[in-house]
A and B are shown apart, each in its own frame.
Chain A
Amino acid sequence: MTHEQFEVLSNQAVAACAAAYFLAFLAHLGQWAAGRRAEPVEVAREREAVTVGAGAPTAGRAAAAPVTDEPERMLLLGRVGVAVTVVAAAVHFVAVLTRGLAADPVRVPWGNMYEFTLTGTFFVVLGYLLLYKRFGLSWLSPVVTGFVLVILMVDVLALYEPVVPLQDSLQSPWLVIHVVAAVIATAAFTIGGMCSVLYLVKSRWEQRTDAAGRTRGGYLARLPELAVLDRIAYRTHAFGFPIWTFAALITGPIWAHYAWGRYWGWDPKEVWAFITWVVYAAYLHARATSGWKGSSAAVIALVGLATLWFNFVGINFFFGSGSQHSYAVPEPTAVVLRLDG
């Protein structure tokens, strides 16, 4: 196949996997709609577990209870949704792969924001699928499929760029390592952030339903209890953090050294990578500090996610060529020359 054919194939694969994610998203919406009509979860049991969870390490022992009493219809739709997501992820992978094959010479598909987003969303789905069994993530399905669908749409509509060769400074084995690590960490933080959002939503909702004395049902009632959400969020963040450390603070500087002759230059992109790192370090600290556990920690995690995404999207748009990292404009390196002799 020629490079052009690969490019066409990649674009078609993106469209196909987006359509599949849409179907999966619908199936999961159906799943939770079915859950709404079903019996509400056994509230008393859950509430007991939560109060225990507040202080003692028993937190989360009675966790998976809600998942087990799902009606037939929910289980079926859930299974369909996951199966379709698996297919979509496979097609998504083809889209990423052929994107790399479309370049001449063949290269890693991480030359610009479009490609980075395409790969990042793939890793989000991959992470979700890999953890699905282990963490019992069926409650996360509508969030992940909906999120990936929206981001892919934005990617295609707003960020699309035709395939072009890589700039010289991007041609380094360190780029491959650096970017793979950054993408994986981003995906992990994104999944962790979803759990943190659900944690905050659910804790708000519990307080409100408690106050109103209402019984609980629907999607939120079927989410794992707070302590479990918190723990899954922590696990994904704890997985992402060393990888981010590796990407941003080890391979990044090494690559910058070879490409630009300095390890760390406080370039806007580097500043924000550092900020993200510090905020997530604060998150890990917060989880171990009394008075900061739980909601405050979840908020810090989301601040971290915001800085991460801002670094990716915002820096390129708002700072443009002010950053050496902007892949938006292919600059000849000579433009960085100083005019003061």
Chain B
Amino acid sequence: MAATTTERPAGPPAEPPGPPSLSPVELARWSWRQLTSMRTALILLFLLALAAIPGSVVPQTAVDSVRASRWMDDHPRLTPVYEKLGLFSVYDSVWFSAIYILLVISLVGCIVPRLRVYWRGVRAEPPRAPRRLDRLPEHRTLETDAEPGAVLEAARAALRSRRYRVRVDAAEGTTPGAVRAERGKLREGGNLVFHLSILVVLVGFALGSLLGFKGGAIVVTGDGFANTLSQYDDFEAGSFFDVADLEPFDFTVDGFDVTFLQEGRQAGMAQKFRADVTYRTAPGAEDQQREVAVNHPLSIDDTDVFLIGHGYAPNITVRNTDGTVAYSGPVVFLPEDTTFRSFGVVKVPDAEQAGGRTTQLGLEGEFYPTYGFTDESGPFSAFPDSKNPALSMLAWTGDLGLDSGRSQSVYALDKDGLDPLLKSDGQPVRLDLALGRTAELPDGMGTVTFDGLSRFVKLQVSHTPGQSTALVGVVLALLGLLASLFVRPRRVWVRARREGGRTLVEVAGLDRSAGGDLSGELDALVGRLRPAGASDTPATTRSPEEPT
């Protein structure tokens, strides 16, 4: 093990303790050696691990923006400090990037010279036998009557069959003949492939985040979606992504199906959700049908559409007193918990007010797929499936703020310009509606009807170029790693000389891997070289049986 490392070109052994006072060139060279040393790599790896931790403790904007903004609201004093430190986006932060960029530089600086050495070494012949084979950790001797040449030939054949690269040096004068053999250079090769592949994976990742995009959309069943920017609820794209590159597909969500476990311990757990979609790869292309389910995305060219959520969209109609429709359609209510108690708003920009004037009307409230009520808890949902759907909403009038020019969430009311509608007793007007029911608004403002129930699906659309690059990278990395960890780099030498009418054979070997053990290999070789019906010359060995 120790032998391995000292021979390694990459890990410069003892570094000088501090920068010697030298010329700038030499200082630069010294710094470079420091940066590309194994110890620095080790420390940078540690720093990387440490730097990753805060991102698992502080909510990350890019991972879960809702949780992150809630956290910010709860910690008004810490938030600015954390923001400065980049703690809400650790993995894009300067310090995190600095660490991995240094690591990449160190990696390159470390691999390139090793590649050169490896390239030269790969074709090199096995090294000559050391003068004293008995100094090596593993060695055996035996005597035989066969000619030295024949012994060496047998050793050559035996080693070749074990896939060693072998050279035979014939005897010359007083120098006895010897066989030198080596195998397992793939270890270092695998190690280099592994480290290079890390770079390939990083390139793949970089391609994905620079050229790709990820967007979310909520689509009510029966509605369509066309892949243009305006149809997304949220959209994040890499710096080099061009919106014109959005592939021109579109689809309609024909239906959505979910099975809720009705009984048992997990009653209410959703299972087998899937959406039926009809899609076209481009306008005018042929209609195709597909089922999209969890773990079964729809892939159109290089873009994938994932089903990642679902919920209810009650159909709500608001009518004026004369029966004309001021608003009608399915309204997306976002689920708030596992019972699918959901929150939503209706914005009616042209509602009627007493006296025929128009005003803006906002409704805000909750939807319960299986309505329940107790005095303590108020309304609640007893089950996520729609067994007894009901709405409970408050009404507001005034200015919805739609014309302010600020972008506004369709899932929340901006109450700055709104006043609650009040009953004559001063209590706010609450509209409690079971499916199919109509409630009347006060002051001749018309009616609100809950006239149907649709479902919606939450889709995530993403385009991640470079994913095959990254995949090839990780697979190569894994193969390289396996070679690097499990290939045994070994050298074996056999020397045979005539002595006192017999042939004295010396066999020795070196296992250059961490934790290698050669004894079995040498014993097998000695077995092959020993004359048939072996004389019992005990092969001297250095190792008794040992756990391997």
Contacts and interface: CB of A to CB of B under 8 A. Distances in A.
Interface of A: 55-65, 134-136, 162, 164-165, 167-169, 171-172, 224, 228, 231-232, 234-235, 238, 241-242, 245-246, 249-250, 257-268, 271-272, 274-275, 278-279, 281-282, 285-293, 307, 315, 319, 322, 329-341
A64 B544 contact: yes
Contact of B42 (A63, A282, A337): A282
Contact of A162 (B5, B53, B265, B273): B265
Contact of B66 (A55, A257, A339): A339
B45 A271 contact: no
B547 A242 contact: no
B266 A58 contact: no
Contacts of A65: 544
Nearest to B515: A231
A168 B295 contact: yes
A234 B5 contact: no
A322 B64 contact: yes
A262 B213 CA distance: 11
Q: Which 8 pairs, one residue from A and one from B, show the smallest C-beta to C-beta distance?
A: A261-B306, A334-B309, A341-B409, A261-B460, A268-B56, A271-B56, A231-B515, A168-B294
Interface in B20-75: 38-39, 41-42, 45-46, 48-49, 52-53, 55-56, 59-60, 62-67
A321 to B, nearest CB: 9
Contacts of B542: 58, 61
Contact of A291 (B39, B56, B297, B545): B39
B319 interface: no
Contact of B271 (A135, A165, A232): A165
B241 interface: no
Interface in B307-340: 308-311, 334-338, 340
Contact of A330 (B3, B338, B340, B411): B338
A154 to B, nearest CB: 22
A169 B295 contact: yes
A264 B91 CA distance: 12
Interface stretch (B161-169, B398-406, B416-424, B476-484): B476-484
A125 to B, nearest CB: 19
Interface in B478-525: 478, 481-482, 485-486, 510-511, 514-515
B144 to A, nearest CB: 26
Nearest to B46: A282
Contacts of B271: 165, 167-168
B485 A238 contact: yes
Contacts of A238: 485-486, 514-515
A62 to B, nearest CB: 7
Contact of B65 (A249, A289, A293, A338): A338
Contacts, number: 235
B312 to A, nearest CB: 10
Interface of B: 1-5, 8, 11, 13-14, 38-39, 41-42, 45-46, 48-49, 52-53, 55-56, 59-60, 62-67, 90-91, 137, 205, 208, 214, 216, 218, 233-234, 261, 264-266, 269-273, 293-297, 304, 306, 308-311, 334-338, 340, 384, 408-412, 458, 460, 462, 464, 467, 470, 474-475, 477-478, 481-482, 485-486, 510-511, 514-515, 542-548
A341 B406 CA distance: 13
B477 to A, nearest CB: 7
18 contacts: A56-B137, A165-B271, A168-B270, A238-B515, A242-B482, A257-B304, A258-B296, A258-B306, A261-B214, A262-B462, A266-B90, A271-B56, A282-B49, A285-B45, A336-B64, A339-B411, A341-B234, A341-B410
A332 B272 CA distance: 12
Given A288-B4, A290-B5, A282 B45 contact: yes
Contacts of B218: 337
Contact of B308 (A260, A267, A287): A260
A289 B5 contact: yes
A281 B475 contact: no
B481 to A, nearest CB: 5
Given A172-B295, A259-B295, A332 B544 contact: no
B1 A266 contact: no
A261 B338 contact: no
Given A57-B511, A168-B272, A335 B53 contact: no
Nearest to B43: A282
B527 to A, nearest CB: 20
Contacts of B62: 266
Nearest to A304: B49
Nearest to B60: A266
A337 B39 contact: no
A291 B335 CA distance: 56
Contacts of B64: 322, 336
B309 A288 contact: no
A315 B53 CA distance: 12
A313 B469 CA distance: 34
B46 A263 contact: no
Contact of B547 (A224, A249, A290, A332): A224
Contacts of A258: 295-297, 306
A337 B338 contact: no
A333 B294 contact: yes
A275 B45 contact: no
Given A250-B478, A266-B60, A278 B48 contact: yes
A9 to B, nearest CB: 18
Most chain B C-beta atoms within 10 Å of own C-beta, residue among A64, A162, A169, A332: A332
A335 B511 CA distance: 57
B2 A55 contact: yes
Given A165-B269, A282-B42, 10 more contacts: A57-B3, A168-B270, A238-B486, A242-B485, A249-B474, A263-B467, A278-B49, A288-B514, A322-B67, A332-B310
Contact of A289 (B38, B511, B547): B38
B8 A260 contact: no
Contacts of A293: 1
A271 B56 CA distance: 6
A63 B546 contact: yes
A228 B294 contact: no
Contacts of A64: 544-547
Nearest to A224: B547
Contact of B515 (A58, A234, A242, A262): A234
B63 A330 contact: no
Nearest to A52: B137
Most chain A C-beta atoms within 10 Å of own C-beta, residue among B45, B90, B310, B545: B45
Contacts of B65: 338, 340
A258 B65 CA distance: 22
B343 to A, nearest CB: 9
A261 B304 contact: yes
B38 A271 contact: no
A242 B191 CA distance: 13
Nearest to B218: A337
Contacts of A281: 45
B136 to A, nearest CB: 9
Given A260-B306, A334-B311, A279 B477 contact: no
A262 B214 contact: yes
Contact of A136 (B462, B475, B547): B547
B48 A340 contact: no
Contacts of B2: 55-57, 59
A262 B273 CA distance: 19
A339 B334 contact: yes
A5 to B, nearest CB: 16
A36 B336 CA distance: 63
